[in-house]
Amino acid sequence: MDKEHACECTRKRVDETWAALQTALGTPPKLPANVSTSTPRPPRAGPYVSEKPLVVPPGIYFVDRQQHVFELLQGEIKADEIAAVLKRGGQ
């Protein structure tokens, strides 16, 4: 989840996080990824934000097959952090 109207520093974090996510997922992506903005809060992100509120955008919500959040990374996110969560899965 990113921020629709972001300052330069937040926009930079969003762009870097998107690149890190693409790196961690590989080409072609191993898993689906959906992008939502936090302003206004989109309906599909509502349940995730209710489970684990996003404090520092951007945020990556990792959800299990039952659509429950099992991990939230936020702020400055690196590809190795994403890969570690993907490796653990929803366990």
- β-pair partners for 61: 72
What is the sign of the dihedral through the CA atoms of 78, 59, 54 and 49? negative
**Secondary structure class of 9 (helix, strand, coil):** helix
Per-residue model confidence (pLDDT) at position 65: 86
pLDDT per position as a tens digit, 24-75: 998 887 777 776 656 555 567 778 888 899 888 888 999 888 888 999 999 9
Whole-model pTM?
A: 0.80
pLDDT per position as a tens digit, 4-31: 677 888 889 989 999 999 999 988 877 7
Per-residue model confidence (pLDDT) at position 23: 93
Per-residue model confidence (pLDDT) at position 45: 75
